[in-house]
Amino acid sequence: MAFFSLILVRGRHWVGRFPRAIAAAVPGQSANPFSSFTVEDAVRRWRLVLLCVVFVAFGIQGWIAPPLAAAERRPNLLLILADDMGYGDLGCMGSELLLTPHLDALASSGVLCEQAYVASAVCSPSRAGLLTGRDPRRFGYEGNLNKADAGYATRPELLGLPGNEHTLGDHLGAAGYATCLVGKWHQGTGQPFHPNRRGFDHFCGMLGGGHGYFPEPGKNQLERNGEPLNEFSSPYLTDFFTDEALQWLQSREANAAEQPWFLYLSYNAPHTPMQATEADLAVFEHIKDPRRRTYAAMVYALDRGVGRVIEYLDQHSLREKTLVVFLSDNGGATSNGSWNGPLSGAKGSLREGGVRVPTLYSWPSRLPAKSRYRGVVSSLDLLPTFMSAADAKPLPLQETLSHQDRKNHGRASKEYGDYDGIDLLPLLDAEQPEASRRLFWRLQGQAAVLKGANKLMRPSHRPAQLFQPATDLAESKDLAGQDAETLGSLFQELADWESSLTTVPLWDSSPYWSEESAQIYDRWVPKAEPR
């Protein structure tokens, strides 16, 4: 901007000097060397040239950098993640017993996605896909991370999100956003994997995959930007994480920061251990099942936290210019009292109950209220959607690591793209028709591919099956015997995808979990909401 101001200042100086210079050069003559031109003609011509230069200069400036007004239109981005929440465990998703007024209001203010998926049926690889916008199997992130480093045969420096993968924090930080993560990380506990090194300016939470809900000084795994925590604004962890998120937002308000922000509020509720406050438990005395009652109280606390954050946005006139997304990292678990509604399967299974989750998008100034989107969406879509909202491009992929197949890296990028998601904004506001999607999964002996209406399931313990989950939510009608052509085609697509991966899984869960997944696949059928 200073350069263009200089043009204006110096230009005025040149306009004043130009006619005098011409007149001095040819005494007694017109300032123009051609007899038909006068000094006044030269001045007018020179001013016209200068005006053109200024217009071109400002045109170049607008091309190099977006106008300030466009930058101010970039929304804040709020991503709220639940942990092991069941598909049916919101009022807007069908629960008659749980109380989720704030999440239900969030759904009413925007778009509820009916067929929304995550990248894996367990926490850690699901979050890796969500954070990178890439199928986590493409970089060897297939199994869950649920043990100390000594519990794996893998080199410790590989036990986490690979260093050549960008996170949402990296992408949005490069686009000019302030970035914050509060809550559960679960992408590796070593220093190279620390959130502050992976794109997040501020981090408060735990590096591992679980934590008790009543932390004590000196007896917790919580930190703030690398410093252990021994004081807590609230005794209950879910409330404490909400406090931390609000404090970060308030700090930005106090500094009068105009910079847009990205807040990743990653609750660990309602993941085990099943712990709730006495006050929240008292609200659900009508639920007789003790595990379901505790689960309801934990979800109630999470919903309260969401309400507090949304209220802050309303009070500070930020709601209209904030895109809010809520989802769970995978389906409800068999151990926490969750309910997957009409779906078969649960956490750990590639049936719908393991990978299909409640998902809400709300942006009052852009997306329609009280809407439902029935097409397929994925947590992998967060990256392109957020970057579209931020009016920025994702960062280019980095070089492959020593253990990654460079040829397959290029092959996969050509076939599937560098990133696996799509921009949902034109779909959610009905500017474009529903998109046909292709999604892959692999976990604990199972593999699956969803293409269009058809989903091929290849479990570890029985022949492959073919379902149409958009209409058969329970996956109760196996079409494999009726449509051999589609079955064979999807088998080939799954094989092609597996052969394009750049590496074998960098670690895996104990084979014990393959048996668990097989049992969930066969036995976990739709049931009524626990009471």
Instruction: Give the pLDDT band (50/70/90) at residue 10.
Output: very low
Q: Is the pLDDT of residue 509 over 90?
A: no
- Taking a C-beta distance cutoff of 8 angstroms, is the pair 424, 116 a contact? no
When comparing pLDDT for 48 and 411, which is higher?
411
Q: What is the C-alpha separation between 31 and 28, in angstroms, rounded? A: 9
What per-residue confidence (pLDDT) applies to 431? 82
- Quick one: average pLDDT of 450-478? 97
> Distance between CA 413 and CA 409 in Å, rounded?
6
The pLDDT score that the predictor gives to residue 446 is 97
Model pTM? 0.87
- How long is the chain? 531
Question: Largest Cα–Cα distance in the chain?
Answer: 109
Helix axes 406-416, 484-499, angle to 10 degrees: 140
pLDDT band at residue 378 using 50, 70 and 90 as cut-offs: very high
**Does the structure show a pLDDT above 60 at 16?**
no
Contact 158, 506 (CB under 8 A): yes
- Hunting for tokens 């994702």 — which residue is that? 394
The SS3 of residue 380 is helix
Q: Residue 341's pLDDT band (boundaries 50, 70, 90)? A: very high
pLDDT of residue 111: 98
CA 357 from centroid of its chain's CA atoms: 14
pLDDT of residue 72: 57
User: Which tens digits make up the pLDDT trace of 402-437?
Assistant: 999 999 999 999 999 999 999 999 999 988 888 899
pLDDT per position as a tens digit, 154-191:
999 999 999 999 999 999 999 999 999 999 999 999 99
Residue 22 reports pLDDT greater than 90: no
When pLDDT is averaged across residues 501-512 and rounded to a whole number, the result is 93
256 band by pLDDT with thresholds 50, 70 and 90: low
Higher pLDDT, 512 or 87: 87
Band (309; pLDDT cuts 50, 70, 90):
very high
Phi, psi of 29 (to 5 degrees): -115, 170
What sign results for the dihedral spanned by CA atoms 416, 421, 423, 427? positive
* Residue of 511 and 466 predicted with greater confidence: 466
Q: Find the mean pLDDT for residues 85-90.
A: 98
Q: How confident is the model at residue 130 (pLDDT cuts 50, 70, 90)?
A: very high
Mean pLDDT of the region 69-90: 88
CA dist list (Å): 145 to 124, 208, 264, 366: 6, 8, 20, 38
Burial label for 293, CB within 10 Å (0-12, 13-18, 19+), is: buried
Sheet with 111-117: strands ordered across: 227-228, 222-224, 202-206, 178-184, 261-266, 76-82, 322-328, 359-362, 111-117, 371-378
Query: Span 490-512, mean pLDDT?
Result: 95
Burial 160-192 (b: 16+ CB within 10 A, else e): bbbeebbbbbbbbbebebbbbbbbbbbbbbeee
Any idea which residues carry the catalytic annotation?
123, 186
- pLDDT > 90 in the chain, percent: 82
Alpha carbons 120 and 132: distance in angstroms, whole number: 13
Q: CB pairs under 8 A, 24+ apart, for 505-508?
A: 505/137, 505/140, 505/141, 505/142, 505/143, 506/140, 506/141, 506/142, 506/154, 506/158, 506/159, 506/162, 506/403, 507/143, 507/145, 507/152, 507/153, 507/154, 507/158, 507/159, 508/142, 508/143, 508/444
Interhelix angle 290-315/237-254, nearest 10 degrees:
10
SS3 17: helix
The pLDDT, as a whole number, for residue 277 is 98
| Confidence (pLDDT) at 271 | 98
Percent with pLDDT over 70 in the chain = 86
Domain boundaries defined on the chain: 76-434
The token pair that represents 371 in the structure block: 């809407």
Superfamily covering domain 76-434: Alkaline Phosphatase, subunit A (3.40.720.10)
Peptide bond between residue 270 and the one before it cis (omega within 30 degrees of 0): yes
Which residue would you say has higher pLDDT here, 20 or 221?
Answer: 221
Does 77 score more than 60 pLDDT? Answer: yes
Calpha distance 457→441 (Å, rounded):
9
Residue range 44-51: mean pLDDT, rounded: 41
The whole-chain average pLDDT of the chain stands at: 89
Identify the residue with better confidence: 14 or 316. Answer: 316
